[in-house]
Amino acid sequence: MYLASTSRVHELTPEERAVYSTLKTESLPEHVAIIMDGNGRWAGHRSLKRFLGHQQGAKSVQLVTETASRIGLPWLTLYAFSLENNLRRPKTEVNFLMRLLKSYLENNVQRMMDNNVRIRYIGRIHELPNEVQDKMAWAADTTSANTGTTLTLALNYGGRIEIVDAFRALAAEIRHKHFAPERISEADISRHLYTAHMPDPDLLIRTSGEMRISNYLLWQIAYTEIYVTERLWPDFRGTHLLEAIADFQRRERRFGGLSDSVGFTDEEAERVKIAAS
């Protein structure tokens, strides 16, 4: 959790301010991750082509990012393009998504600068087209000195392949440094993940009502709170981000421990008789 000390709450819309006023600003999540789902269905419900759903979804990315920056959210990570998308979607759709990514970066880097947003990426970036990689590098370099929200786009990303890549890197380190596998810790694995530079998500939001995590941040969400909304991603706005945070704050995170309201002393545990099975 973090204290929203660098927020620009006065820039929120009236609807956003109404929700924000209900939040405990001293305990906002530090890292929110989002599975942006429903672009195709949004278009289908309106008898539109799928690419129009993706375009509207790109608009939602910028609007939600700007709200995150105004409340001082340190980390926002968006599942933009999965490894499975790259392998299984029609080539025409994949090509359009790559052009849309380039256009999004070209058109929104100045807005990122205006909102003090820094952009980064996770995934098998090296497998994307060279011209897309060049535009991504340009946007990251341009925004690198910004100190507000870090927007991370997961591109050509899969949670399982991230863990595979981490183990490959760790295996190479073991060979090089000659230390015993018995010494491997969770921290050793974590520092070889794509996300080694960021904290694990506190809150995972999934749009479109689907009850699955779709191979997203599998290692990192071990103790993440999950919020699912029926709203499709192209209709998702900053107000809905704040509503998800409000829901998050009504929960009690125990990380495998007990609630403070549960009274059970060591002495009581010793006196409890275990029934025979």
Task: Tell me which residues are annotated as active site.
Answer: 37, 85
The torsion angle over the Cα atoms of residues 93, 99, 103 and 109, rounded to 10 degrees, is 100
Contact 158, 85 (CB under 8 A): no
CB atoms within 10 A of CB 253: 11
CA distance 254 to 267: 22
Q: How many helices (H) and strands (E) does the chain have?
A: 10, 6
**Integer Rg of the chain from CA:** 21
Tokens 């535009």 -> residue:
135
Q: Where are the beta strands (DSSP E) in the chain?
A: 31-35, 75-82, 118-122, 150-157, 203-206, 225-228
CA distance 11 to 55: 25
Closest by CA to 119, choosing from 79, 93, 148, 160, is 148
CA distance 238 to 63: 6
